[in-house]
Amino acid sequence: MRRMIRPHIAAKYGPCIDCGSGTRSHVLEAAEYESYEGEIVIDRSDDFASKEWEEVDTVTKYALTDSAVVICHKCWSKKTVVFQKIIDDNFTKWEIGGMSSIRPIMKVLKSIRYLQIEFELDAPTRSKIRELRVMSKSLLTTTTGDEEE
C-alpha cells in the first residue's frame, strides 16, 4: 500500500532522539501512515427480527507505520548553540578552504535544515549560512578538469 504523511494530525508523544525523554516539542520527521479500506456497521436488525440484516459502509482507515522523530526543546536549544558556535568558528576556514571544505559545509547545512534551527540563530550567523549555501552551490556546479577544445 501507499505510505502518506498526514500534516493535520499532531505528532504523538515520543522519545527525544538525543536524551530519550518523552516529548513532542519539535517534530523532525513526520509520522507515516498507510491507508486501508475498512467496513463499519451503520445499522442492523434488532434481536427479534425474523431476518437478520446489516448495513455497512466502507471507510478509509489509517495505520501508523513509522512514528514521528522528535527532539525535546532542551536538546534542540543546545544544538542551536552548538551549530552557531561551529559556524562562527569555522566560517573563515571554510571560505578559504575551497573544494576541500565542501563536505563539512554540506554536513552543517544538512543538519541545520533537518533540525529546523536556522531562524533561531542570530542575524550574522544566518547571513553566513546564506553565504555557505551560495559557496557550496558554486563549488558543486563548477567543472573540475580541462574543457575539451
Q: Could you list the beta-strand ranges (E) of the chain.
A: 3-5, 14-15, 22-23, 26-29, 32-44, 54-66, 69-71
Strand partners, 41: 56
Q: What is the pLDDT of residue 52?
A: 82
Q: Give the predicted TM-score (pTM) of the model.
A: 0.74
Please report the pLDDT score of residue 128 as a whole number: 92
Confirm if 120 and 81 have CB atoms less than 8 A apart. Answer: no
What pLDDT was estimated at residue 82? 94
- Quick one: pLDDT at residue 19? 92
Task: Spell out the per-residue pLDDT of the chain, length 149, in tens.
Answer: 688 888 888 888 899 999 989 998 899 999 999 988 888 888 877 777 777 878 888 888 888 898 899 999 999 999 999 999 999 999 999 888 878 888 999 999 999 999 999 898 889 999 999 999 998 888 888 755 544 44
Tell me, what's the pLDDT at 83?
93
Strand 3-5 to 54-66 pairing:
unpaired
